[in-house]
Structures are given as C-alpha cells and as structure tokens.
Structure 1
Amino acid sequence: MTDIKTIAVAALEDLKGKDIVALDVSELSDVMDTLVICTGTSNRQVKSLADNVVEEGKKAGIRPIGVEGIEQGEWVLVDYGDVVVHVMQAETRSFYDLEKLWSMTPASRDGHR
C-alpha cells in the first residue's frame, strides 16, 4: 500500500499544484510527521487540489480525519494525522510562511537553543 504522503503529492502534481514541498517535522511535532504544502493559483484550484488529495486517498482506502477551509478556498487543510496537507493561495502561503515556521529549531525549556 502506498503511503498518504506519496498519494497526496501525486494528487497535487496531477492538477498542476505549484511549489509542492513535503517537510519532515517529526522532530518538531508530536502530532504529525510530515507537512505537505502546495500553492494553488485561485480559490477554484485550491479547492480542486484539496478535493483531489481526498479523492485519491479514498481510492487507497485512506480517509482524512478532517478537512478545513474548503468553502473559502484560500487555505485548505487536509488532516491525515501523521500527514497534514496545506493547499494555499500564493499570498496566504507567503504571509504564513509555514516552511520557515516549521524549520525553526525549538528552544529548550531553559530558553537556550
């Protein structure tokens, strides 16, 4: 069986998602291992990209825990537990800059890195 990260990336590529990135965040998060981020060029494309991820996952027998933001189409989050997919419009992706946020080294409990 193919893993959901591979399925999600392929589903995004199928519909011409832009700047697809898969980040290993297992060292930074206890709730997920991989963050997949993709840019869509419009509300319609963002929705279509996210829908395609969900549909391709279902074909493989994998259903998301939740989907958020599909109505607006500016930023859609598809949560598979270990893998979380973010499909965003360019302005939103640039503003929130999740790649930078999730690449930061966490500070230790005493405040030192």
Structure 2
Amino acid sequence: MTQENTPDPAADGNDALLALAVDAVEELKGESVQILDVHELTTIADHMVICSGRSARHVKRMGETVITNAKQAGLSPRVEGLEQGEWVLIDLNGVMVHIMQPVARAYYQLEKLWDMDAAGAENQSAH
C-alpha cells in the first residue's frame, strides 16, 4: 500500500478509520467482510468491521496489518487476542475491528448480536 492510499484519520473522522480498517483486511484477503453501523446502538464505536481469516496465522497477520496501518496514521490502537489468533479485537477509537477464525465467528455471531433491525422485526412479529 502506498502512502497516497493511506487514509488520514484526522481528516475525515470515522470514515477514514473505517477505510483504513477495511483496506487492511482486504489487502490480506479477509473473508466475509461485514461493516456494521452501530452508532445508534452503542457509545463504544460508530462502526464495526467483522471478517474471517482462514487460520490463526492469517487472523494474526490481518490484525498486525490493521495495527501497523493505524500506527502509520498516527493512531494508538488497543488490541486484544493477537497472540492467540482465534479472535483479534482492535479498537481504533470509533471503529472496532473483529478478525475471527470461522469457528469463533459462527459461535459468537456478532452480526446477529448487533443487527437490531432484525431483532426488532422478530419481536414485532411475535406480538
């Protein structure tokens, strides 16, 4: 990735953070990349990026790439789970990046947890 393609998080706020995260996971062929807009549901982040890696090594490498790109952009990301490589969580202060192995992703189903539109529709149809 060249310097011209690296978004400036200070310039565009969370859109630049989101682009930084998505570019990093797509650069290393992250699978089933999902972007969730959660700004109305929580104060911990405006967006969540969820993707899968094929192995612990792939998950770790994608996490390292997100971290490196964030640091190059002047950020200090908070990171959990990088050593284990099953589920890496990277907090970019406005964008949360979840990089998971397929088994962990299927088990935790974060997309369903944060999809309040679907949950609301289920609750309305139950009444």
Q: TM-score, normalised by structure 2?
A: 0.79
The Cα of 1:104 is off from its aligned counterpart by 2.3
Give the unaligned 5+ runs of structure 1. none
The Cα of 1:31 is off from its aligned counterpart by 1.7
Structure (1/2) with the larger strand percentage? 1
How far apart are the structure 1 equivalents of 2:20 and 2:29? 14
How far apart are the structure 1 equivalents of 2:107 and 2:24? 24
Q: Quick check: 1:38–1:86 contact (8 Å CA) kept in 2?
A: yes
How far apart are the structure 2 equivalents of 1:76 and 1:97? 15
Q: Which amino acid aligns with 1:99?
A: E
Which residue is 1:5 aligned to? Answer: 18
Structure (1/2) with the larger helix percentage? 2
Equivalent residues in 2 for 1:1-113, closer than 5 Å: 1-2=8-9, 3-64=16-77, 66-104=78-116
Q: TM-score, normalised by structure 1?
A: 0.88
Give the unaligned 5+ runs of structure 2. 1-7, 10-15
The Cα of 1:80 is off from its aligned counterpart by 1.4
Q: Quick check: 2:57–2:85 contact (8 Å CA) kept in 1?
A: yes
Q: Which amino acid aligns with 1:83?
A: V
Q: Quick check: 1:78–1:85 contact (8 Å CA) kept in 2?
A: yes
The root-mean-square deviation of aligned C-alpha atoms, in Å, is 1.7
Point out the structure with max Rg over C-alpha: 2
Alpha-carbon displacement from aligned partner over 1:24-52 (angstroms, at most 9, x marks no partner):
00010012110110100000000000000
How far apart are the structure 1 equivalents of 2:17 and 2:97? 10
The Cα of 1:63 is off from its aligned counterpart by 2.0
Q: Quick check: 2:45–2:94 contact (8 Å CA) kept in 1?
A: yes
How far apart are the structure 2 equivalents of 1:42 and 1:85? 17
Higher RCO (CA < 8 A, seq sep 6+) = 1
Count of residues paired in the alignment: 108
Q: Quick check: 1:4–1:62 contact (8 Å CA) kept in 2?
A: no
Runs of 4+ in 1 over 4 A off after TM superposition: none
Secondary structure, aligned partner of 1:8? helix
Q: Quick check: 1:7–1:53 contact (8 Å CA) kept in 2?
A: yes
